[in-house]
Amino acid sequence: MEYRRLGKSGLQLSALSFGSWLTFGKQIGDRTAEDLMSVAYDYGVNFFDNAEIYSRGQSEIVMGEILKRKGWRRDSYTVSSKVFFGLGGKDLKPTQKGLNRKHVIEACDQAMTRLQVDYLDLYFCHRPDKQTPIEETVWTMHNLIQQGKVLYWGTSEWSAQEIMEAHMVAQRYSLIGPVMEQPQYNLLERQKVEVEYAQLYSGVGLGTTIWSPLASGVLTGKYNDGFPADTRLGIEGLGWLKDSALVEANLERAKKLSAFAAEIGMNMPVLAIAWCLKNPNVSTVILGASKTAQLVENFKALEAKEKLTNEVMTRIDEILNNKPLLPAY
């Protein structure tokens, strides 16, 4: 395993980490979840990603049980939660969501209970909240860190401007600011990480824990020739994800990339994950998996990265024709 600093912080995360969205407490059984976490931990993964909304809290309950059963030393791994959506559902009351002080604090306590831990290593604001002043959220995160309940805080899918506003507030009051952002980043989704945040890496030392490196499976190539059974995009209730992921432009690019991967003798998922790892502004690539064989395969990306020479990276850009342009100033 390779370890990378989380932005300017001193925390070193495994370059490949593991998350539980749509799988734990939903698509897969608890036994498979445990097998996946064991394979990951044994491979050197030291970051497990979670959120209050994942399977409406059930994902954290499953992960907490596994952490307890495995008995791994608490100082050998990091675990996260994310706050904003609450536990979801139609009956959610206004006090049970958002980034207001009440919900951020209560959600932190509830996540620690579900995960059976005394503190969260990473705590993310899962989306920006237009209903809460940024000062309130920054102060709350700072206080949670002072209380020892959270070690590092960050954001997910915030704009560069929103992240900078949080930093300005932190600087104004000498508070601990956000250290990491969790954006989507993969061969099909590049704008935020490559352009929008470009000034933030050196400017404020932003770290990134990137999600959906395989675009929910599209970048494995398995949807190239029809719809295979027993896959994420076939799960009942995920029509919205299927509709956004399986658009023609994505499938076309996946097909072209599959041909190129075959040409250089690499599996598509390995190529797609290795490509994410090539970006030095990526602190960790969060993997998802429904089967241990997938995870074992995906870990090969660490070695495969060495094969992605400048020439290969240029070929990929030419094939995809989606490299975002940096502003000319």
Ligand X SMILES: NC(=O)c1ccc[n+]([C@@H]2O[C@H](COP(=O)([O-])OP(=O)(O)OC[C@H]3O[C@@H](n4cnc5c(N)ncnc54)[C@H](OP(=O)(O)O)[C@@H]3O)[C@@H](O)[C@H]2O)c1
Shortest reach from residue 238's CB to ligand X, in Å: 10
At position 254, the amino acid (one-letter code) is A
Separation CA 38–CA 70 (nearest Å): 8
Tokens, residue 123: 């705590």
Tell me if 282 sits within 8 A of 190, measured CB to CB: no
Shortest reach from residue 215's CB to ligand X, in Å: 5
- Residue (175 or 276) nearer to ligand X, CB: 276
Shortest reach from residue 143's CB to ligand X, in Å: 23
Residue 153, beta-bridge partner list: 123
Shortest reach from residue 109's CB to ligand X, in Å: 21
Shortest reach from residue 188's CB to ligand X, in Å: 10
Active site (annotated) includes residue 54 = yes
Separation CA 259–CA 225 (nearest Å): 13
- Residue (106 or 157) nearer to ligand X, CB: 157
Distances (CA, A) of 27 to 79, 133, 214: 21, 37, 17
Tokens, residue 85: 């959506």
CA atoms in the 13 A half-sphere facing the CB of 105:
11
DSSP string, 154-212: EESS--HHHHHHHHHHHHHHT-----EE--B-BTTB-HIIIIITHHHHHHT--EEEEB-
Shortest reach from residue 328's CB to ligand X, in Å: 31
- Residue (81 or 100) nearer to ligand X, CB: 81
N-to-C CA span, the chain:
38
- Residue (19 or 57) nearer to ligand X, CB: 19
Tell me if 290 sits within 8 A of 27, measured CB to CB: yes
State how beta strands 120-125 and 150-155 pair. Answer: parallel
DSSP string, 202-249: HHT--EEEEB-TTGGGGGGTTTTTS--SSSGGGSTT-HHHHHHHT-HH
Q: Which of 3, 41, 43, 54 is catalytic?
A: 54
- Residue (46 or 216) nearer to ligand X, CB: 216
- Residue (185 or 260) nearer to ligand X, CB: 185
Query: Rule CB under 6 A: which residues touch ligand X?
Result: 19-21, 23, 49, 156-157, 182, 211-217, 220, 222, 231-232, 269, 286-290, 294, 297-298
- Give the residue numbers annotated as catalytic, written as ranges: 54
